[in-house]
Amino acid sequence: MIMKRKMEDSCKEKCRPQMSEEQEQLIATLIEAHHKTYDSSYSDFGQFRPPVRKDEFDSSDDCSMPEAPTDCSFGSSTPGESSMNSGNLGLLASFENFGQSASNMTSPFSMLPHLSDLVSYSIQKVIGFAKSIPGFRELNTEDQIVLLKSSVIEIIMLRSNESFSSEDNSWVCGSEEFKYSISDVTQAGHNMELLEPLVKFQIGLKKLNLHEAEHVLLMAICIFSPDRPSLLERERVEAIQERLSETLRAYIVCNHPPPSSHLLYPKMVQKLADLRSLNEEHSKQYLEISREAGDPSDLTPLLLEVFGSPLS
């Protein structure tokens, strides 16, 4: 214990010219903010609408739901029972979704309600994290909104790396029920064009083996991107991002041992570039999903506000 104390002191001594007290404090603040907004036990996930996974090997697309069965048969009438309709039944039944009202129509995107709730929940957590980054609250409200709206999907992709497992390319959030595979995301309406780069991004980020300090600094740097469209006070955003980047560089020099520290900073900057293209592709796919979703309430009001409503 005494030995450890001495080690830490000597390290601090060595770092003093590179890491200021203020920078140490900034890192402590970000880590605390992250702990308050990222629950590693994923205990809230049970409150989301449940995940509905369609059997990959069953293409029959029947209406049966694993948990809450909804009546999507043709009422109680069996062929021949109703004298009026019996002659038509064969023909009418051949029309897809005949007999289903809009409310019990099976959405083609069975995972959308659950993943919408997960993303909606994550957005709220990201807002909480952003608000505790020194300087954020001091920006004008319009810029706060611009920064959050434009970065939130990027931050969700970044923070999800904590649950991502490179073993089987899935996000593991506790139980089997909350383990998200690539196929789950395609069942929310997204296609491989976006999913493949997202998974590659996760694998590459995992390989960087970031310290927690680096992980939280990367998220903060991403939020304070001065090149987001229609910012009013770009220079102020840039100044805050500069402070964060300097802190990250100093942290790596002082605390990240070689060889994994090699080119770490530029590799992290590259991840921010990757996120831009993921963000752009997501916007396009989201627009399609929100138009095609059978039921608009599959999404949430917050999702519609942040990513846009097809009606606006």
Q: Minimal CA–CA distance to 141: which of 205, 40, 149, 285?
A: 149
Per DSSP, what are the bridge partners of residue 264? none
Residues that bind ligand YS9 (CB under 6 A): 115-116, 118-119, 122, 156-157, 159-160, 162-163, 171, 173, 180, 185, 188, 190, 194-195, 198, 282, 286, 289, 303, 307
Q: Return the number of the residue (74 or 178) whose C-beta is nearest ligand YS9.
A: 178
Rounded to a whole number of angstroms, the minimum distance from the CB of residue 124 to ligand YS9 is 10
Q: Minimal CA–CA distance to 23: which of 288, 213, 224, 297?
A: 213
Q: Minimal CA–CA distance to 123: which of 304, 260, 312, 266?
A: 304
Rounded to a whole number of angstroms, the minimum distance from the CB of residue 133 to ligand YS9 is 17
Q: Return the number of the residue (127 or 195) whose C-beta is nearest ligand YS9.
A: 195
Residues 113/52, Cβ–Cβ less than 8 Å: yes
Q: In angstroms, what is the C-alpha Rg of the chain?
A: 24
Q: Return the number of the residue (54 or 190) whose C-beta is nearest ligand YS9.
A: 190
As a 3-state breakdown, the chain gives helix, strand, coil percent values, each rounded to 5, of 60, 0, 40
Q: Return the number of the residue (178 or 265) whose C-beta is nearest ligand YS9.
A: 178
Residues 63/97, Cβ–Cβ less than 8 Å: no
Rounded to a whole number of angstroms, the minimum distance from the CB of residue 154 to ligand YS9 is 10
Rounded to a whole number of angstroms, the minimum distance from the CB of residue 15 to ligand YS9 is 31
Q: Return the number of the residue (100 or 285) whose C-beta is nearest ligand YS9.
A: 285
Rounded to a whole number of angstroms, the minimum distance from the CB of residue 84 to ligand YS9 is 43
Q: Return the number of the residue (33 or 289) whose C-beta is nearest ligand YS9.
A: 289
Report CA-CA distances (Å) from 121 to 34, 114, 156, 180, 278. 15, 11, 10, 16, 20
Cα separation of 31 and 5, whole Å? 21
Rounded to a whole number of angstroms, the minimum distance from the CB of residue 197 to ligand YS9 is 9
